[in-house]
Amino acid sequence: MQEENKVAQTYDKVLARVKEVCLKSNRDFSKVNILVVTKYANQEQIRQLLSKRQVFAVGQSKLQDTLTKFSGPQLKNFKVKKFFIGHLQTNKAAKVLETFDLICSLDSLHLAEVLNKQAQKQNKKALCLLQIKLTDKQTQSGLKIEEVPAFIEQVQTLYPNIELKGLMAIAPQGAPEEIKAAFKKAKAVFDNHFKEQDYLSLGMSGDFEIALEQGSNLLRIGSAIFD
């Protein structure tokens, strides 16, 4: 097997697993998107994938790393959508808004305020997913589920340049049953506040099968592709 094809082939294997779970759990594969998380991948690995496969979007958690990787000679000619998945500090909001097509990690009203202001300056909408928290851990960012309704209402009334496109959450650490229950909760919140065509982003390399079964339509997969 040629080394050149390895990343594309690993990607295909992930796709095959996604398809299989869709079949088993009665999900429409054409409505499931894969955010290819490139934060651990080097430019050459990313180039190999992008030159062989059309991907929905790439996910990055750090601004500087994104600029370095994607403006470098190997990748600058690839047109690919970029989603920001890391914790966003307000001092980076302007540049993140310029660089990324969607921010998956809106987690405070203060950040919403800053993003709204920057989006107005840049004469665009800031497309965002609300990050919700599925654990009680202090270290995890995200809104508590019970804070979601008021948050959405405030964003809609106060920040016209923010467009909420769905929810993002990271699974709690735990047994599959625990993860499943947490994803179920996220799906219920999603169904209450968003439309089917919005994004419910649950699931990473270790738990995307459970996430798919529970209704995720935007899997965020890194290490399973770039292993």
As a whole number of angstroms, the distance between CA 154 and CA 177 comes to 34
Residue 39 binds ligand PLP, judged by CB under 6 A: yes
Helix (H) or strand (E) holding 68: helix 63-71
**What is residue 227's three-state secondary structure?**
coil
The residue count for binding ligand PLP (CB under 6 A) is 13
User: Side-chain half-sphere of 221: how many Cα atoms within 13 Å?
Assistant: 28
Of residues 78 through 117, those in contact with ligand PLP by CB under 6 A are 85
CA-based nearest residue to 105, from 127, 124, 134, 137? 127
94 SS3 class: helix
Stretch that binds ligand PLP, among 24-32, 151-159, 199-207, 210-218 (CB under 6 A): 199-207
Structure tokens at 163: 């467009």
CA end-to-end span of the chain: 16
- In angstroms, what is the minimal distance from the CB of 35 to ligand PLP? 8
Judged by CB under 6 A, the residue of 61, 66, 118, 161 near ligand PLP is 61
- For ligand PLP, the binding residue among 32, 96, 112, 170 (CB under 6 A) is 170
CB of 209 vs ligand PLP, minimal distance in Å: 12
Does position 142 interact with ligand PLP (CB under 6 A)? The reply is no
Q: Which amino acid is at 95?
A: K
Binding piece for ligand PLP, criterion CB under 6 A, among 92-100, 159-167, 178-186, 217-225: 217-225
Positions touching ligand PLP (CB under 6 A) are 37, 39, 61, 85, 170, 204-206, 220-224
